[in-house]
Amino acid sequence: MAASAARPTLALLASASLGAGRRGWASLAVSSSSAGSALPVVRGGRRLFAAAAGGAVMGRAGPGAVDADAGMNAVQRRLMFEDECILVDEQDNVIGHESKYNCHLMEKIEAGHALHRAFSVFLFNSKYELLLQQRSATKVTFPLVWTNTCCSHPLYRESELIEENCVGVRNAAQRKLFDELGIVADELPVDQFIPLGRMLYKAPSDGKWGEHELDYLLFMVRDVKLNPNPEEVADVKYMNRDQLKELLRKADAGEDGVKLSPWFRLVVDNFLMGWWDHVEQGTLQEAADMKTIHK
């Protein structure tokens, strides 16, 4: 995919809090790394990748951590301890892997040992309405907040480490859209995900948990059948631009308990409306810039 010229420095919202009037501003820096072009054949399914020589592997969470989180929902507990996220540096180079649990501990994040690769999917229907989800109450980070269609992580496995043309991230997005929203793979062809950009952000969820992610922003226009998983999703809703603006107003005013995820708010405030124009015009590829990492 051809990438557009790097964007100039912007201002990004640093959303350490989700409440009204509590957002601070930070300057946005940019850096560049190479992006692949050809779409390779995916082989090997979901076999776990052996750790590369010299790769970083942080210490596993010990028995004390397990005991301290005994009240965690069983599904979320399994995901936190079994899923292995892909550790990267700020240029998006893979440097190792770590449990989802450790990657989301604020003490690890603040120590600079938890930056990992993530993705955020923005799925539109044929009426160009954006599908939003409200995260379930059992989510460890940012429970019950409204966010884009699907937000998760590629895992440290062969099929999701493929760097060419973002195939690994696309494979992960297809997997999680089925896990969270019940959308079958046939309705979400991997090559139909359009990567538009990457951003690096950090945000606390509460005193213990948070996010520090290098987030791939994937767009698709597709009519699909939904079967949300209540362990992952509390509610779903398609929204047009005006409905989204009303949701933003409620979040800013603190009405009806509406809260938005920090990564979604960053995209909304800096990119989404311009990209929505490309969605409606069928020109999403023209908006893509996978060389720049927005910080």
Catalytic residue annotation: 151, 216
DSSP annotation of 272: I
Q: How many CA atoms lie within 13 A of 48 on its CB side?
A: 8
* Other residues' Cβ atoms within 10 Å of the Cβ of residue 66: 14
Three-class HEC string of 38-93: CCCCCCCCCCECCCCCCCEECCCCCHHHHHHCCCCCHHHHHHHHHCEEEEECCCCC
Hey, what's the torsion of the CAs at 268, 248, 273, 175, to 10 degrees?
50
DSSP H or E segment with residue 260? none
Residues 6+ apart with CB under 8 A from 191: 39, 170
Task: Pick the closest to residue 203 from 30, 14, 25 (CA basis).
Answer: 14
Give Cα 50 to chain centroid, integer Å: 24
Give 220: exposed, middle or buried? Use CB within 10 Å, 0-12, 13-18, 19+: buried
What is the torsion angle, in degrees rounded to the nearest 10, for the CA atoms of residue 78, residue 84, residue 88 and residue 93?
-150
